[in-house]
Amino acid sequence: MTVSNDAGAATAIAVAALGVIKRFPGVVANDDVSFEVRVGEVHALLGENGAGKTTLSNVLTGLYRPDEGRLVVAGADVVFDSPRDAIDAGIGMVHQHFRLIPTFTVTENIVLGTEAPKRGPFLDLRAAEDRIAELAEQFALPVDPRAAIWQLSVGEQQRVEILKVLYREARVLIMDEPTAVLTPPEVEGLVATLRSMAADGRSVIFISHKLGEVTAVADRITVLRGGRSIGTVEAADSTRESLAALMVGHEVERVQRRSLGVAESAPVVLRITDLGAIGDRGQTALHGVDLDVRAGEIVGVAGVAGNGQRELVEVIAGLRPRAGGHIEVDGEAVVRTDARHPIRLGVSYVPQDRMGTGLAPDLTIAENLVLKRYRRPPVAAPPFLRSTVIDAEADDLMERFDVRAPSSQTPTRQLSGGNVQKVLLAREMSSSPKVLVIASPTQGLDVGAVATVHQLLLDVVAEGVGVLLVSEDLDEVMALSGRIAVMYEGRILAIIDADDADVSVIGQLMGGHVEASA
């Protein structure tokens, strides 16, 4: 592995940051960050959450102005006063959360904010459509220019975002965690697009915290840690282990496969029979799902996003009405569509949308920790709440679950991703649940937090809780689960013992090939 900060003297540099420092009250988000992106390369920015990747991309796109340091674009120093200046300099960004207007068409979204072609006083969208089709063809970004955004899948919307940047003649494309929202085939398509852009002499800055994809996509990788740039390495010379060591500053062990089979005699804590549900768009999202979870086991649900997993956990949690079927928790039937009944029966639920569903972002950590217990003593002395009890319990839970924050009075909005998840787990695991339903438990978390979350899950299982783990990360499902249920188009195609599980078989089932399991 070679660490070089002066590499590429012979190659043209598309954009460079030199000694960039950006401070916020109480934090130095970027502390002397330097890196160079060559013309025609895919350059990854790798770092844990909070390493300064997002701040750096905001500096590069003119959203923030660095307190110190220089930006160099195509050999000349630049100062960006606004995102407009960055666009004019040929730097475009695809944000993790898309910035598209759902009711506008693809073409309308793309020309929005540009000097659109006109015929007389009217927009000449036809000319724009032609240009978009040309770019789409060149970079393998299939999308219908006349479709409205709301009709498109997430992957297609991302292509629109990329086309938007290309349409503005960007020479440098910054992509923030682009694969987080994509299915595996879509990721392959994205990688092909990025390679063809590099081949066309453009540069791509690929922001990620996933070691595997960074080594697969990038030519070179700049590692950020604690706001500093640690160094730039050639992807070809790097391994996941070496990069992980750079990222966190010490060697990390990967998730070990653990055998978690339970005896047939263990009681069933969650019994789902012939469950149906309707999705948000009125489609049948679940077809006759049968699934049991026993005390002390983790049942993993694998599948490509959008095959009914979300609806399944929402129905169990009482947030979505059932269209037929039964749910029993520890022998007791769940009757109403209401979150209260499952909670009372001992169902804990850690949703995928942690900040938007699991927490009230403006409330403090302490307040969020009693979200499901605020009605009853000891937290409540009706009609009042007992803040001394709430604060004392918060301090205790924060210590047990290693939540790092200035105090229990910090709004959860200010926490990092890992600490947000720890607050959620602290609340959901400390209520002595019978069943824990958890969706994408480590999505967006850094390496250290992933290990903590996995350990907490294994601890809670050891105490006899039945866990239903829904995750799009197949490695995670396979590493943690005793049994794996594969979902496809609202059905469970097969339930496989993890000991017999084979990635290729599960992969085919995820794609709907039933014969594969036979």
Binding site for another protein (CB under 8 A): 23-27, 64-70, 79, 81-82, 84, 317-319, 338-340, 343, 349, 351, 353, 356-363, 367, 371-372, 374-375, 380, 382-385, 387, 414
Please give the DSSP secondary-structure letter assigned to residue 202. -
For residue 210, list its beta bridge partners: none
Residue number with CB closer to another protein (50 or 178): 50
Evaluated on CA atoms 24, 28, 32, 38, the torsion sign reads negative
Distance CA 466, CA 437 (A): 9
Residue number with CB closer to another protein (118 or 340): 340
Residue number with CB closer to another protein (105 or 309): 309
Q: Which amino acid is at 260?
A: L
Residue number with CB closer to another protein (231 or 358): 358
Cβ atoms of 373 and 379 closer than 8 Å: yes
Distance CA 251, CA 154 (A): 35
The set of residues, in sequence order, having a beta carbon less than 8 Å from that of 144 and lying 6+ positions away, is: 106
Q: Which amino acid is at 78?
A: V
Distance CA 151, CA 387 (A): 48
Minimum separation from the CB atom of position 452 to another protein (A): 23
Please give the DSSP secondary-structure letter assigned to residue 96. S
Distance CA 414, CA 399 (A): 18
Three-class secondary structure of residue 89 per DSSP = coil
Minimum separation from the CB atom of position 281 to another protein (A): 18
Minimum separation from the CB atom of position 398 to another protein (A): 19
Please give the DSSP secondary-structure letter assigned to residue 402. T
Minimum separation from the CB atom of position 322 to another protein (A): 16
Minimum separation from the CB atom of position 313 to another protein (A): 11
> HSE-up of 205 (CA within 13 Å, CB side)?
31
Minimum separation from the CB atom of position 339 to another protein (A): 4
Evaluated on CA atoms 114, 118, 121, 126, the torsion sign reads negative
Minimum separation from the CB atom of position 233 to another protein (A): 28
| DSSP for 103-124, written as a single string | TSBHHHHHHTTS---EETTEE-
Residue identified by tokens 């502390």 is 31
Residue number with CB closer to another protein (81 or 500): 81
Question: How many beta carbons lie within 10 A of that of residue 81, not counting itself?
Answer: 9
Distance CA 441, CA 454 (A): 8
Minimum separation from the CB atom of position 129 to another protein (A): 31
The set of residues, in sequence order, having a beta carbon less than 8 Å from that of 305 and lying 6+ positions away, is: 183, 472
Cβ atoms of 421 and 451 closer than 8 Å: no
Minimum separation from the CB atom of position 272 to another protein (A): 20
Residue number with CB closer to another protein (359 or 467): 359
Residue number with CB closer to another protein (75 or 382): 382
Residue number with CB closer to another protein (25 or 282): 25
Distance CA 223, CA 343 (A): 43
Residue number with CB closer to another protein (137 or 332): 332
Look at phi and psi of residue 281 and say left if phi exceeds 0, alpha if psi is from -120 to 50, else beta: alpha
Minimum separation from the CB atom of position 360 to another protein (A): 4
Cβ atoms of 408 and 395 closer than 8 Å: yes
Q: Which residues of 420-450 are buried (b: 16+ CB within 10 A; e: fewer)?
A: bbbbbbbbbbbeebbbbbbbbbbbbbbbebb
Residue number with CB closer to another protein (25 or 120): 25
Minimum separation from the CB atom of position 400 to another protein (A): 21
Residue number with CB closer to another protein (85 or 124): 85
Residue identified by tokens 């200035």 is 406
Please give the DSSP secondary-structure letter assigned to residue 514. G
Rounded to 5°, the CA angle 468-265-303 comes to: 25
**In terms of Cα–Cα distance, which of 316, 319, 339, 340 is closest to 328?**
316
Residue number with CB closer to another protein (55 or 158): 55
Strands 203-208 and 118-119: unpaired
Minimum separation from the CB atom of position 290 to another protein (A): 26
Minimum separation from the CB atom of position 187 to another protein (A): 29
Residue number with CB closer to another protein (257 or 375): 375
